[in-house]
Amino acid sequence: MKITTDQEGNIKLKNVFSGVLLETSEGNQIGVCMRDDTVEINVCPKGEDTKNWWRVNMQTGNIEPLK
């Protein structure tokens, strides 16, 4: 993983193939990782590993269930 910042000081992550996990104080989680030319997202309510994976279609901007 490569970590940089942009001109506004926002964190920019590249090569995130092992994933990043975001967690709220209530325990809700979203996992994000990169795959080839897209991004995959795992939505985990209350930290449950639900395997609720979604894929971002970079050409259309749609987020679709990962099958």
Please spell the DSSP secondary structure of the chain, one letter per residue.
Answer: -EEEE-TT--EEEE---S-EEEE-TTS-EEEEEEETTEEEEEEEGGG-----EEEE-TTT--EEE--
User: Does the predicted model carry a pTM greater than 0.85?
Assistant: no
Confidence at 5, pLDDT banded by 50, 70, 90: very high
Residue 7 lies in a domain: no
In total, how many domains does the chain have? 1
DSSP count for the chain of H helices, then E strands: 0, 7
Quote the domain boundaries for residue 25.
18-65
pLDDT tens readout for residues 16-51: 988 899 999 999 999 999 988 899 999 999 978 788
Residue 2 lies in a domain: no
Residue 8 lies in a domain: no
Euclidean distance between CA atoms 15 and 8, whole angstroms: 21
Residue 57 lies in a domain: yes
Q: Which two tokens stand for residue 48?
A: 């449950």
